[in-house]
Homo-oligomer: A and B are copies of this chain.
Amino acid sequence: MQGSLTNVTTSVWYYAMARVVQKFGGTSLASTEKICNAARHVQRAINHGDEVAVVVSAMAGTTNELVSWTREISALHDAREYDVVVAAGEQVTAGLMALAVQALGIPARSWLSWQLPIRTNDDHGKSHIESIDTSEISSRLSEGEVAVISGFQGVSSRERLTTLGRGGSDASAVALASALDADLCNIYTDVDGVYTSDPRIVAKARKLDKIAYEEMLEMASLGAKVLQSRAAELAMRHKVVVQVLSSFDNVPGTLLVDEDAIVENTVVSGIAYSRDEAKITLTGIPDRPGIAAGIFGPLSKASINVDMIVQNASDDGSSADLTFTVGKADLERALETIRHVHELIQYQELLFDANVVKVSVIGVGMRTHAGVASKMFETLADKGINIQVISTSEIKVSVLIAEEYIELALRSLHTAYGLDRE
């Protein structure tokens, strides 16, 4: 390592010669022209004196095509062979990116996961990185050679190719940055950073200069596509300084940093939402022990994730209504599962509603500032928006509302929390 970030606490950051990881997503590598464009980001860093390791996704569309082929051949495919097929996409871009960097006169070579190796567990199709042997590339980086690493994949202890699951290249990049003790991990994508809210809905949304790991994690879990949630989690755990920025221009993006490195005094950093919600309500369930387990146990066995949960007891305490949310794609299976336990649970009615969205206000400032939740409820009430379910965490307040209010809710909250761009 030759240097370090010297000024990550202000919105404009500078750094001396450093070791950086640059990760390019599929849209940034969708053609040979775009690959050559991405290589110029590598060149800029090299010219700056940095040591550069590059992590590549597959070309946009490639992974979908490869996945569809495995499905055409067999719906119940062997995940080990699925991984062999799908991992080919990042092999192609690793070689092409190495060629593109070489074409700029910079020494480079590609590294496939088995060549380093990047070790994962053998949970094929959704493995986790266990270790990365960086001994060889580390010494080459210090000699000025660029290492281009195929993202999204690894090799199991049985020497078989594995993949990390969709979006796994972000996790590859952060894990590599951690293993290399890199000063910065740049995630190049097709947006120029993390916004206070979805700019397609909230015209006054601002790009954030910095965001805390935990805030990013909450946003990513809510479906913000800029960074895969697993990558945010890894970055937080290993204190990797990550920057999300656009590969199509050359301006700073959003820096993911430790909470302490954020000096702005905004309590709320962003307003996120998720349309992938469906609400299920069971009315008149008897109020006795074991009921919750009798419902959520079978759902869990069916691999259905349950998110928000509220239970309201009746006045006399003899029965209750239970409301919870699941992913839209799981709604049918969830209803089926619950109908199967009717005899045991003896609920009165099974109601559901897929026309709901979850809106969340997120900010590490909530830890020290009161009144965030009540401001949210008041703002929504003022606009006549009914709150169906509420859930909170240390740095987040989420509410479930009718889908038709989504734009109104996001814009009102964005203004209420003082996030609007000047």
A residues in contact (CB < 8 Å) with B: 32-33, 35-36, 66, 69-70, 72-74, 77-78, 80-85, 87-89, 91-92, 94-96, 98-100, 102-103, 109-110, 112, 114-115, 159-161
Tell me the interface secondary structure of chain A in the complex.
Answer: helix
In the complex where A92-B85, A94-B84 touch, is A99 in contact with B112 (Cβ < 8 A)?
Answer: no
In the complex where A74-B103, A100-B74 touch, is A91 in contact with B95 (Cβ < 8 A)?
Answer: no
A84 in complex: contacting residue of B89, B110, B160, CB < 8 Å: B110
Q: Which residues of B contact A35 (CB under 8 A)?
A: 73
The docked-state distance in angstroms from the alpha carbon of A77 to that of B109 is 12
Residue contact A91 to B87, C-beta cutoff 8 Å: yes
The docked-state distance in angstroms from the alpha carbon of A4 to that of B35 is 52
Copies of this protein in the assembly total 2
Closest residue to A104 on the B side, CB-wise? B74
In the complex where A73-B35, A73-B96 touch, is A102 in contact with B81 (Cβ < 8 A)?
Answer: yes
Closest residue to A32 on the B side, CB-wise? B72
Apart from A66-B92, A70-B96, A85-B95, list 20 A-B contacts with CB within 8 A. A32-B69, A36-B73, A69-B92, A70-B95, A73-B99, A73-B100, A74-B100, A77-B102, A78-B99, A81-B99, A81-B102, A82-B99, A83-B95, A84-B95, A85-B91, A85-B96, A87-B91, A88-B88, A88-B92, A115-B159
Q: Which residues of B contact A87 (CB under 8 A)?
A: 91
Q: Which residues of B contact A161 (CB under 8 A)?
A: 112
Residue contact A69 to B84, C-beta cutoff 8 Å: no
Closest residue to A150 on the B side, CB-wise? B84
- Which of A35, A73, A91, A159 has the most chain B CB within a 10 Å cutoff? A73
- Which of A66, A83, A89, A103 has the most chain B CB within a 10 Å cutoff? A103
